[in-house]
């Protein structure tokens, strides 16, 4: 029983880290896309 | 002439053990009842009508395959040896669908691709942290059910497959059970689809029980006017897909299907969108329903673990609903009470049912509160987090054996 609880915690912990990392990736990606598209507009 | 040999559907009932014959009659009646519930839209008609139809037909259409053996000419899910399979593919009319789309998970991927095509991820990109946090809280059932299921005697693989019901995503349950619990995938998938149809009726009660009326009526004030372009959505689909495939190659077919659907939608390829939405999604859903019904043959479904699965499926969805609402409350407090916790239920990724349930419940107490955009963000994130947990389970569990 304790082993299965540990597995569940591992699954949830890993899932949480990946999900929140994706949220960070979204923010960074949006920042980079907007930053570089602004620069491109200025050059044009 | 022997009348029971002429009408073999009836004749076989006398040749089979009494419990099988009784189960057949019960399943015929249940199938007819499911068609009725589908027609009345109490249960999801897209799944329930073909499923109920298949269930009543397969249990009625049992015949004598030999002097001592009974069976149907619908489908044989237990056939695995190549020679036997080649033979049976030419006899059973639904065997090609089962062998070439069901047992390899293709049908789950086609449904998932369709979900991708109809999903707007704009709100995921607009509110990524709140949406992901709620979605992860709404995965409570997908993990908390695991030790309960194991304590009730299921193996790790079976426990993981039944736990994923908490993610409320049919294709994911199908995919996980095919990989981790092939022996139980029929009852697990049937339990999952039966319960998923019930979320529309059951979750409103959970919302009313856990969220007081005045909090349910909250209008979320937002000053953010953040237009997400289709290029940004496409970029996210490509990056997220590549990263998740890198992390969990075993679940790559699911990730690719979902994010490819999103990519096609955001690329504006109308012909592909139409093809996937109108043909793949509805075609796959139809055959999924019919095949699930056909798999409900009395001799296959009379498994002593079915009762355990019924309890665990209910526990998983209940815990996920509670977890989602807890997630809603967490964001409510983090945002200085400028958030409606009802949105939390949408973290349970039954797209778009739970988001609609959240909006409907809010609308019932305050006609001026519109939370659908936040709810859809949490809803799509729920799909992504369930796919992540599926990836973790199907990768981790075989390593434990």
CB B236 within 8 A of CB A32: no
CA–CA gap between residue B397 and residue B401 (Å, rounded): 7
Cβ–Cβ contact B306 with A under 8 A: no
Residue among A1, A18, A23 whose CB faces B128 most closely: A23
- Cα A30 to chain centroid distance, Å, stands at 12
Q: For residue A32, list chain B residues with Cβ-Cβ distance below 8 A.
A: none
Cβ–Cβ contact B247 with A under 8 A: yes
Residue A14: closest CA among chain B residues belongs to which residue?
B392
- Cα B288 to chain centroid distance, Å, stands at 11
Mutate to test the interface with A, among B152, B392, B394, B395 (most CBs of A within 10 A): B392
Cβ–Cβ contact B394 with A under 8 A: no
Query: pLDDT at residue B205 above 90?
Result: yes
Cβ–Cβ contact B251 with A under 8 A: no
Query: pLDDT at residue B239 above 90?
Result: yes
- Between the CA of residue B208 and those of B196, B316, B342, B347, what are the distances in Å? 19, 19, 9, 17
CB B123 within 8 A of CB B376: yes
CB B34 within 8 A of CB B52: yes
CA–CA gap between residue B21 and residue B4 (Å, rounded): 14
CA–CA gap between residue B82 and residue B74 (Å, rounded): 18
Confidence grade of residue A26 (pLDDT, cut at 50, 70, 90): very high
Percent of chain B exceeding pLDDT 90 equals: 66
Positive or negative CA dihedral for B265, B271, B276, B278? positive
| Mean pLDDT on B306-326 | 93
CB B281 within 8 A of CB B118: yes
| Mean pLDDT on B135-154 | 95
Distance from the Cα of B257 to chain A's closest Cα (Å) equals: 18
Binding-face residues of B in 345-384 toward A, CB within 8 A:
381, 384
Residue among A5, A10, A19 whose CB faces B132 most closely: A19
CB contact under 8 A, B388 and A15: yes
CB contact under 8 A, A4 and B144: no
Q: Please tell me what DSSP assigns to residue B229.
A: P
Q: For residue B232, list chain A residues with Cβ-Cβ distance below 8 A.
A: 29-30, 33
| Mean pLDDT on B123-134 | 93
Helical H segments across B106-229, by residue range = 106-118, 122-126, 128-137, 140-151, 156-163, 170-180, 185-210, 213-216
The pLDDT of residue B224 is: 63
Residue among B136, B146, B400 whose CB faces A16 most closely: B136
Confidence grade of residue B332 (pLDDT, cut at 50, 70, 90): very high
Helical H segments across chain A, by residue range = 2-43
| Mean pLDDT on B224-234 | 85
CA–CA gap between residue B211 and residue B215 (Å, rounded): 7
Confidence grade of residue B324 (pLDDT, cut at 50, 70, 90): very high
Polymer length of chain B: 401
Confidence grade of residue B401 (pLDDT, cut at 50, 70, 90): low
As beta bridge partners, residue B64 has B70
CB B385 within 8 A of CB B135: yes
Distance from the Cα of B216 to chain A's closest Cα (Å) equals: 26
* Other CB atoms within 10 Å distance of the CB of residue B88: 15
The pLDDT of residue A44 is: 58
């Amino acid at each position: 029983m304790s082993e299965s609880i540990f597995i569940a915690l591992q699954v949830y912990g890993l899932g949480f880290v990946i999900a929140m990392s994706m949220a960070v990736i979204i923010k960074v990606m949006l920042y980079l896309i907007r930053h570089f598209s602004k620069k491109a507009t200025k050059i044009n | 002439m022997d009348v029971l040999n002429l009408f073999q559907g009836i004749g076989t009932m006398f040749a089979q053990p009494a419990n099988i014959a009784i189960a057949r009659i019960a399943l015929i009646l249940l199938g007819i009842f499911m068609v009725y519930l589908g027609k009345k839209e109490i249960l999801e008609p897209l799944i329930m009508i073909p499923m109920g139809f298949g269930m009543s037909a397969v249990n009625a259409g049992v015949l004598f395959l030999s002097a001592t053996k009974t069976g149907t000419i619908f489908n044989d899910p237990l056939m695995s040896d190549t020679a036997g399979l080649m033979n049976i593919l030419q006899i059973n009319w639904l065997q090609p669908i089962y062998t070439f789309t069901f047992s390899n998970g293709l049908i789950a991927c086609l449904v998932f691709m369709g979900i991708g095509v109809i999903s707007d991820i704009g709100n995921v990109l607009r509110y990524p942290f709140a949406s992901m946090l709620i979605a992860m809280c709404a995965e409570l059932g997908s993990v908390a059910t695991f030790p309960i299921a194991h304590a009730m005697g299921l193996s790790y693989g079976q426990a993981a497959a039944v736990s994923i019901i908490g993610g409320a995503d049919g294709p994911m349950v199908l995919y996980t059970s095919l990989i981790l619990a092939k022996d139980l995938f029929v009852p697990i998938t049937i339990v999952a689809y039966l319960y998923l149809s019930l979320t529309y009726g059951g979750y409103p009660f959970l919302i009313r029980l856990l969220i007081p009326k005045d909090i349910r009526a909250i209008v979320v004030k937002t000053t953010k006017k953040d237009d997400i372009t289709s290029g940004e959505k496409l970029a996210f689909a490509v990056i997220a897909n590549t990263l998740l495939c890198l992390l969990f190659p075993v679940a790559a077919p699911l990730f690719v299907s979902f994010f490819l659907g999103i990519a096609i939608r955001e690329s504006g390829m109308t012909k592909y969108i139409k093809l996937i939405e109108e043909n793949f999604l509805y075609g796959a859903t139809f055959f999924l329903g019919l095949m699930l019904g056909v798999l409900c043959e009395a001799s296959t479904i009379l498994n002593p673990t079915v009762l355990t699965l019924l309890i665990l499926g209910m526990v998983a969805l209940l815990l996920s609903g509670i977890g989602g609402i807890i997630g809603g409350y967490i964001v409510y407090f983090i945002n200085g009470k400028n958030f409606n916790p009802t949105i939390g239920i949408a973290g349970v990724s039954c797209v778009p049912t739970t988001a609609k349930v959240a909006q409907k419940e809010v609308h019932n107490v305050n006609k001026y509160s519109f939370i659908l955009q936040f709810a859809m963000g949490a809803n799509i994130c729920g799909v992504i987090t369930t796919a992540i947990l599926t990836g973790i389970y199907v990768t981790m569990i075989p390593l434990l054996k």
